[in-house]
Amino acid sequence: MAPDLREFVRDVPDFPKPGILFRDLTPLMRDPDGWQEVIRQLTSVCERLQPDLIVGIESRGFIVGTALATAVQLGFVPVRKPGKLPGTVTGVDYALEYGSDRLEIHSDALADGSKVLIIDDLLATGGTAAACAELVAAAGGQLCGFGFVAELAALEGRRKLPDDQPVESLIIYS
């Protein structure tokens, strides 16, 4: 019987500021059975969507994405904050609740038109994942969907993602 992934998530009240309930996935990553179940379920997503590459969003998307890419024997492409990748990059600026941020990818990483699955640990407001989808298109890739370990549904992050793309979350908090 598969383990219930929620059992491995720690709730941390008032982090990073009062009134926020932080869903800490690190206990899930620490537990071999829980982590294997995450990768098993995301492998099933890959089997359905048939990506050529996994794209992971800095930083916890690197942890989930590289483990998944290894399990399904696909390449991994990092999407990073500005100034972290050497060489020529393609970037996209996006709005945050207060201010803006930027994501970058190597300009040649998706130049062959690869189908990519965007992976991250958590879908919250959706701004970063939506910006990553925009970045994938700008770099020449073809998006085939999104995969998240957890989703905070009350924040309606799915609404910011492209309507024509599947969004798979293993744990959904309402």
CA nearest neighbour of 22 among 31, 35, 9, 34: 9
User: What pLDDT band is residue 79 in, cutting at 50, 70 and 90?
Assistant: very high
Cis peptide before 59 (omega within 30 of 0): yes
| Overall average pLDDT of the 49-74 stretch | 98
User: What would the DSSP string read from start to end of 104-161?
Assistant: EEETTTTTT--EEEEEEEEESSSHHHHHHHHHHHHTT-EEEEEEEEEEEGGG-GGGGS
Residue in 97, 102, 151, 158 annotated catalytic: 97
For residue 23, indicate whether it is catalytic: no
For the domain bounded by 50-173, which CATH number is listed? 3.40.50.2020
26-45 in b/e burial notation, b at 16+ Cβ within 10 A? eebbebeebbebbeebbeeb
Q: 3-state class of 61 per DSSP?
A: helix
| Span 104-161, pLDDT tens digits | 999 999 999 999 999 999 999 999 999 999 999 999 999 999 999 999 999 999 999 9
| Overall average pLDDT of the 22-49 stretch | 98
Residues in the chain: 174
| Overall average pLDDT of the 5-24 stretch | 96
Domain boundaries, the chain: 50-173
User: What is the Cα–Cα distance from 4 to 115, expressed in whole angstroms?
Assistant: 30
Q: 3-state class of 19 per DSSP?
A: coil
| Overall average pLDDT of the 41-55 stretch | 98
Residue in 7, 10, 37, 60 annotated catalytic: 60
For residue 60, indicate whether it is catalytic: yes
